[in-house]
A and B are shown apart, each in its own frame.
Chain A
Amino acid sequence: MDAVTTEIVLTVNGRERRLSVDTRTSLLDLLREHLDLVGAKKGCDHGQCGACTVLIDGRRANACLALAVAHQGAAVTTVEGLGEGSGLHPLQQAFIEHDAFQCGYCTPGQLCSAVAALAEARAGWPSAVTQDVGHGEVVLDEAEIRERMSGNICRCGAYPGIVGAVAEQAR
């Protein structure tokens, strides 16, 4: 079977993009190879490391496992689109202040994931360490932050700084 190409329209960081892609193209490859948005990283390409995390319609997702063709019409936000204009998102500033990275490779994924994790907590979503899933509001203590951010691996081990930055934004 020959390669199958298809037309898709996506909104990426607020801008409408019309592309012709091979059905095999992941959202990650579309962003990096077709749109030159190289913030989202290809770490494992198997949904195990979180370096490719972006927001799809406001929700965090692994762009490596998302087929671009299946996301026709979606609004995608990458790390390049987190801040207002050329300014940093408050969480990006917090990452700098808390020394939340060393090599920086996982950082774009950490940032997108954390922005969504904060929103999930505000919406009252429980986690695996929430004592009573049936009731109560979510308090983002260290255990909650670590659990909610467990889909993002940092091989430099900058976790204490990441937790600190997210905790600051949760307050």
Chain B
Amino acid sequence: MRPFAYERAADPDGAIAALGRGTPAARYLGGGTNLVDLMRLGVEEPELLVDVTRLPHGEIEALGDGGVRIGAAVRNSDCAADPAVRERFPVLAQALLAGASGQLRNQATVGGNLLQRTRCTYFQDVTKPCNKREPGSGCPAREGDHRNLAVLGHSEACVATHPSDMAVALVALGAHVHVRGRRGERIVPMPGLHRLPGDEPERDTVLTHGELVTAVEVPALPWAGRSRYRKVRDRASYAFAVVSVAAALDLDEATGTVRQARIALGGVAHVPWRATAAEAHLRGVPATEESFATAAEAELLVAEPLRDNAFKVPLAHNLIVRTLLDLVNA
């Protein structure tokens, strides 16, 4: 690991200013569960770390209108255990609990979870080319080991997936990410924080260097009590998603029809994938397996699986249908 200077700022603007004094390799330090690992692997080589875990962003606020505002420094475990999060947005608590381990969730922050990097093996191996790590060097994953990589929205340059479970739930819930930079604050909606790779796979998100995530606000969604996260992985626990789905269902129980639905997919794209085509198909239809299958099909029409990951398409299809059926019966 390369030597680095360490700073701890007293307030957000101090952190932003401190990072601004570094090179473009300087990084904010949250829980460090991804960044420290990447530094050890030589993927990240910051000469400066600015610790943002002690900034006043450690609280979860249950908002009067039914939403929640989660400070960026809140640990994943505390967010998953929060009574308001659990009651209002079960899908978010479940997504957090589906990720990593008890130890890692105690360390990882909400802001850091959003900004974690892909676990594509070529990205993490500095002896291999990777357009995300070293723009223009090539992508061996397209012809190589890509079983667990993207089937939607990938590009010639990059077939990586975003690894977060939490972000899939936040995309389904339409969260707002509060970001602070040298020119003040802005709000980035989800989906919209993460970007498809295109020909700039080195850019995971729309944030610019030095912008600091301060909070994530989940707007009220009265029917999100009927929501859940379901994750398929290669072992029973403590593994990244092969495919996952976050879904919420607004069900008219009297008529058995769907008023509206929210669906997002994980493990399939460079972004947590909001399934807007499926959502459009579900408005006003009977809450049946047939409707859900039609909606899933509509979403996955644009899938472009690679040689070894075509299985993800029917897996995603079945996962959408099964999760929606579970929500009808919830």
Contacts and interface: CB of A to CB of B under 8 A. Distances in A.
B101 interface: yes
A89 B146 CA distance: 46
Contacts, number: 119
Contact of A60 (B49, B87, B106): B106
Given A1-B4, A47-B37, A67-B32, A150 B107 contact: no
Interface string A102-139: 00000000000100110010011111101001110000
Interface string B89-106: 010011001101111101
Interface string A131-151: 001110000000000111111
Interface string B251-279: 00000000000000000000000000000
Contacts of A116: 102, 106
Contacts of A66: 32, 36, 107
Contacts of B40: 45-46
B5 A23 contact: yes
Q: Which DSSP category, helix, strand, loop or mixed, fits chain A's interface?
A: loop
A59 to B, nearest CB: 5
Contacts of B87: 134-135
A150 B101 contact: yes
B81 A1 contact: no
Interface residue tally of chain B, by bracket?
35 or more
Contacts of B49: 23, 67
Given A50-B103, A62-B104, A133 B98 contact: no
Contact of B100 (A4, A45, A151): A151
Contacts of B155: none
A58 to B, nearest CB: 10
Given A66-B32, A126-B86, A4 B3 contact: yes
Interface residues of A, number: 46
Contact of B237 (A46, A117, A133, A150): A150
A61 interface: yes
Contacts of A4: 3-6
Contact of B36 (A67, A147, A148): A67
Contacts of A62: 33, 103-104, 107
Interface string B36-51: 1100100000010101
B225 interface: yes
- Find the residue from A70, A72, A125 having the highest chain B CB count within 10 A: A70
A149 B238 CA distance: 10
- Find the residue from B47, B81, B101 having the highest chain A CB count within 10 A: B101
Given A47-B37, A128-B237, A70 B6 contact: yes
Given A65-B107, A126-B80, 11 more contacts: A1-B5, A23-B6, A60-B106, A65-B37, A67-B32, A70-B53, A130-B97, A133-B80, A133-B97, A150-B237, A151-B102
Interface of A: 1-4, 6, 22-24, 26, 45-47, 50, 53, 56, 59-62, 65-67, 69-70, 72, 113, 116-117, 120, 123-128, 130, 133-135, 146-152
